[in-house]
Structure 1
Amino acid sequence: MKSILLLVCLLIGLNAHAEGLAGQVKSFIEAQFADNANVTDVKVQLRTPASRWPQCELPQLSLPQNARRWGNISISARCGQERRFIQAQVQVMGHYLVAARGISAGSKLAAEDLKLKTGRLDTLPARTLTDSGKAIGAVSLRNISPGQPLNPVMLRRAWAIKAGQAVQVMAQGNGFNISGAGKAMNNAAAEDSVRVRMASGQIVSGIANSDGTIRITL
């Protein structure tokens, strides 16, 4: 009888321990998305048996730097010198961008080309866009079908300057400003580096502004 009671108590203790750690892991994962307004719900399913979990009440949980935060992941759980890994599946619901209509290659995207959709973010291709600011004004590199999730590999930023274009170069230094004319030697989006052949034949490098001018800081 005593052995049965001991076994029951042991099982109850294990279950309580597992439930406690499961809650800690869930809270830890949810915290990874606390600042992401696009995420609406997070579900965590633990795959590692409780018998292989660390035995302390409050293990130190962590994820490798730059590791995925959803899908099948491995969480480090440290108790003093003991370190174990907990396998989990993380499902994340949230908003993401899709094409509101068919978009032809070479088209510059406008707000009406985009719409937000809600679904499982963890099942989408890596780097699927959730911020319309990163798509509006960009140029499509391929034909995009209606409802297709948008991804940075499909887009490029619009050129502020094109190779061969006549440009105005403005150099700024401590207490002086100098301007001159030249021709751009490469395409560049705003804030990209661009090389310019000046009227004198000298080649300089600067940063493209959104208005098509080039700035050089001396």
Structure 2
Amino acid sequence: MSGLKTWSIIALLLACPQVFASILDAPLSQFFQQRLAGISDEVSVVVKTPDAQLPPCPLPDFSMPGNGRLWGNVSVLARCGNDKRYIQAEVRATGNYVVATQVLPRGSVINESLVQLKRGRLDQLPPRAMLDISQASNAVTLRDIAPNQPILLSMVRQSWRVKAGQRVQVVAAGEGFSVNSEGKALNNAAVAQNARVRMDSGQVVNGVVDLDGNILINL
């Protein structure tokens, strides 16, 4: 009879996995749902820290550094008044990410027909996976990419808007004035990247490339 009772208890526990859930799984899931709004529409959190080591209040104030990881194994600061504790948790997030639709040889310029969005577990992707398909537009591959392979930001670079040796317009702007002049670019640069320009006078200046390929200098 004792054996039957033991198996009955085990069956009950297996049927009710919430028995094992941490008291902070739900509030932490809500915290990360807010952080991942617009990126993931399905978020759950499993707290790894034992309940005995959790903060003394049922609803702590949670916070993370601005550059902290969004999913996977994370460390969250929980505050209950003056009590501060770090909680270890696993964040599981599902959403869209960018994959190649066909083989993309190194040096390929990507267009919309070469990539698509795929839905899956974001926390199981390699770091710096591309989540926004617009990031792939006109990007150049730095390595061969296989069909259906998640595209990482480290696998591509933006197309050069300015190339070394090219004649460019330099626009120096300050409060109430703007001065245009010309020079020769000394490096390749994409939009929003820094470019060095040798002016016709011989002076070398630094600025940021705009959408039109001009070099902007804020004074």
Is the structural similarity TM-score above 0.5? yes
RMSD: 2.7
What residue in structure 2 maps to residue 76 of structure 1? 77
Mapping 1:111-190, distance limit 5 Å: 111-172=112-173, 178-190=179-191
CA shift digits 1:53-109 (9 cap, x unpaired): 333233333334422232122333333333334332221111100111111111111
The CA distance in 2 between the partners of 1:203 and 1:119, in whole Å, is 48
Does residue 27 (structure 1) correspond to residue 11 (structure 2)? The answer is no
5+ long unaligned stretches in structure 2: 1-17
What residue in structure 1 maps to residue 3 of structure 2? none
Q: In structure 1, what residue type is equivalent to 2:210?
A: N
State the secondary structure of the residue aligned to 1:188.
coil
State the secondary structure of the residue aligned to 1:68.
coil
Rg: which structure is higher?
1
The CA distance in 1 between the partners of 2:85 and 2:205, in whole Å, is 55
The CA distance in 2 between the partners of 1:170 and 1:85, in whole Å, is 49
Mapping 1:33-112, distance limit 5 Å: 33=36, 35=37, 37-112=38-113
Percent sequence identity is 44
The CA distance in 1 between the partners of 2:51 and 2:65, in whole Å, is 22
Q: In structure 2, what residue type is equivalent to 1:43?
A: S
1:38 and 1:96 in contact (8 A); partners too: no
CA 1:188 to 1:63, structure 2 compared with 1: closer, same or farther past 3 Å?
Answer: closer
2:130 and 2:152 in contact (8 A); partners too: yes
TM value normalised by structure 1: 0.78
The CA distance in 2 between the partners of 1:111 and 1:22, in whole Å, is 39
* Greater than 6 Å deviation, 4+ residue runs: none
